[in-house]
Amino acid sequence: MMLREAGTLLGIGVAIGIVLAVAGGKAAYSLLYGLKPWDPVTLLAAAAGLAVVTAAASLLPARRAAKMEPMAALRDE
């Protein structure tokens, strides 16, 4: 459940980020030397890097939650 939520937030963030990165790249096109603002390799590399960081950051809380007893979690709520 926690990993699914992290994946959903990652997907939304990557989609918004790609749109903003392309828009910002087009606005700064004259400053970019030898790089297109819509370079697919760069955008995919950034999205893959974010996916790795998201998985690493959400794995520890997900493992901790999986080890917890359901009744103990409900009592803490």
Answer for the pair 2, 54: CB distance below 8 angstroms, yes or no: no
Please tell me the distance from the alpha carbon of residue 29 to that of residue 11, in angstroms, as a whole number. Answer: 26
**Per-residue confidence at 77, pLDDT binned at 50, 70, 90?**
low
pTM above 0.75, yes or no: no
Find the angle CA(28)-CA(33)-CA(39) to the nearest 5 degrees: 75
**Per-residue confidence at 8, pLDDT binned at 50, 70, 90?**
very high
Q: Give residue 9's pLDDT.
A: 92
As a whole number of Å, the end-to-end CA separation of the chain is: 17
Mean per-residue pLDDT, 20-44: 80
